[in-house]
Amino acid sequence: MRKKILVTGGAGFIGSHLCEKLLELGHDVLCVDNYFTGNKDNIRHLMGNTSFELMRHDVTFPLYVEADEIYNFACPASPVYYQKDPVQTTKTSVHGAINMLGLAKRLNAKILQASTSEVYGDPEVHPQTEAYWGKVNPIGIRSCYDEGKRCAETLFFDYYRQHQLDVKVIRIFNTYGPKMQPDDGRVVSNFIVQALTNKELTMYGDGQQTRSFCFVSDLVEGIVRMMDSPKGFTGPVNLGNPTEFTMLELAEMVLKLTGSKSKIVFKPLPADDPRQRKPDISLAKQNLSWQPGVNLEDGLKQTISYFRSTI
């Protein structure tokens, strides 16, 4: 069935891949973005498509449009950018969620929230299951993002209980791929751009901290499956690749795949940087029949070839 679908943050890294996928599936897509970290170049190739519409708008303000489904992705995701204007980051998550939930309530539309593994903070449970409540500093430099996203989850579940809204919440773990901004500041884009331009790779801390990286096409498949899951399956559900790497292992793989002679330079670890992160994806496997298929080496090759052609 052809649907009218709103994607907030649709000009961003994940949002632009999602818009592409939804158009491929035959839907009408309205992309809403204020271009804080997103970019028209990410969606320029969709502009000629009559099923695609683009609207410049900040989700902290009310939005009156029509839609059958809403994917709420608006929010900067890189620590460098979400810490640039932390008050706006919290507003985007909290006021943005209120406005999109109000919109969904008026339209009786299904709504999916892009939450994050950051709701687990610096986790004491490893790997992280959805049942774990997290260990988050409420007053630190990451809190605007972590607590904003936690409050958005609270709002989603209160609209579900209080207004019987059809809500879906996914907790996305570190995702990478083509269309990340070269200056985005996240580790995968930083290391690749540094390696390709013969600059030193900036390792924060001793490089023993871990992350689990999911390729964007795998993630987008999981996102759409979650939206299409039966009513009442609200999540939250973890979406990510459970294969865990240290940042040193990541740097070595990037150096090998780019053939770069760049050296690794060690810099201070930012405050509250989680020491380890790896999703337990049993819930997604069971309820969405989903699991990632692209391993880090293959995903990095595609991402490196994207950056080679753009920087």
Partner whose binding site includes residue 62, from ligand NAD, ligand UDP, none (CB under 5 to 8 Å by kind): ligand UDP
Contact 185, 252 (CB under 8 A): no
Residues with Cβ within 8 Å of residue 81, at least 6 apart in sequence: 36, 37, 184, 185
Residue 39 tokens, joined? 């970019």
Residues with Cβ within 8 Å of residue 114, at least 6 apart in sequence: 9, 14, 71, 72, 73, 75, 170, 172, 223
In the numeric block, the tokens 């770069």 are attached to: 260
In the numeric block, the tokens 């390792």 are attached to: 203
Residue 92 tokens, joined? 């985007």
- Tell me how many residues contact ligand NAD (CB under 6 A): 28
Residue 131 tokens, joined? 């049942």
Partner whose binding site includes residue 222, from ligand UDP, ligand NAD, none (CB under 5 to 8 Å by kind): none
> Residue 24 CB, nearest distance to ligand UDP (Å)?
28
* 148-187 binders of ligand UDP (CB under 6 A): 174, 186-187
Q: What is the DSSP letter of 181?
A: -
Partner whose binding site includes residue 75, from ligand UDP, ligand NAD, none (CB under 5 to 8 Å by kind): ligand NAD
Partner whose binding site includes residue 12, from ligand NAD, ligand UDP, none (CB under 5 to 8 Å by kind): ligand NAD
Is 145 annotated in the active site?
yes
Of 5, 30, 54, 77, the one binding ligand NAD (CB under 6 A) is: 77
201 interacts with ligand NAD by CB under 6 A: no
Of 3, 4, 57, 105, the one binding ligand UDP (CB under 6 A) is: 105
99 interacts with ligand NAD by CB under 6 A: no
Calpha distance 229→233 (Å, rounded)? 7
Calpha distance 207→222 (Å, rounded)? 29
Residue 288 tokens, joined? 């969405």
Contact 47, 23 (CB under 8 A): no
The 117-156 site mask, x for binding ligand NAD (CB under 6 A), equals ----------------------------------------
Point out which residues bind ligand NAD (CB under 6 A): 8-9, 11-15, 33-38, 58-60, 73-77, 92, 96, 114, 116, 172, 174-175
Q: Which residues bind ligand UDP (CB under 6 A)?
A: 62-64, 78-79, 98-99, 102-103, 105-106, 174, 186-187, 190, 202-204, 209, 211, 247, 270, 273
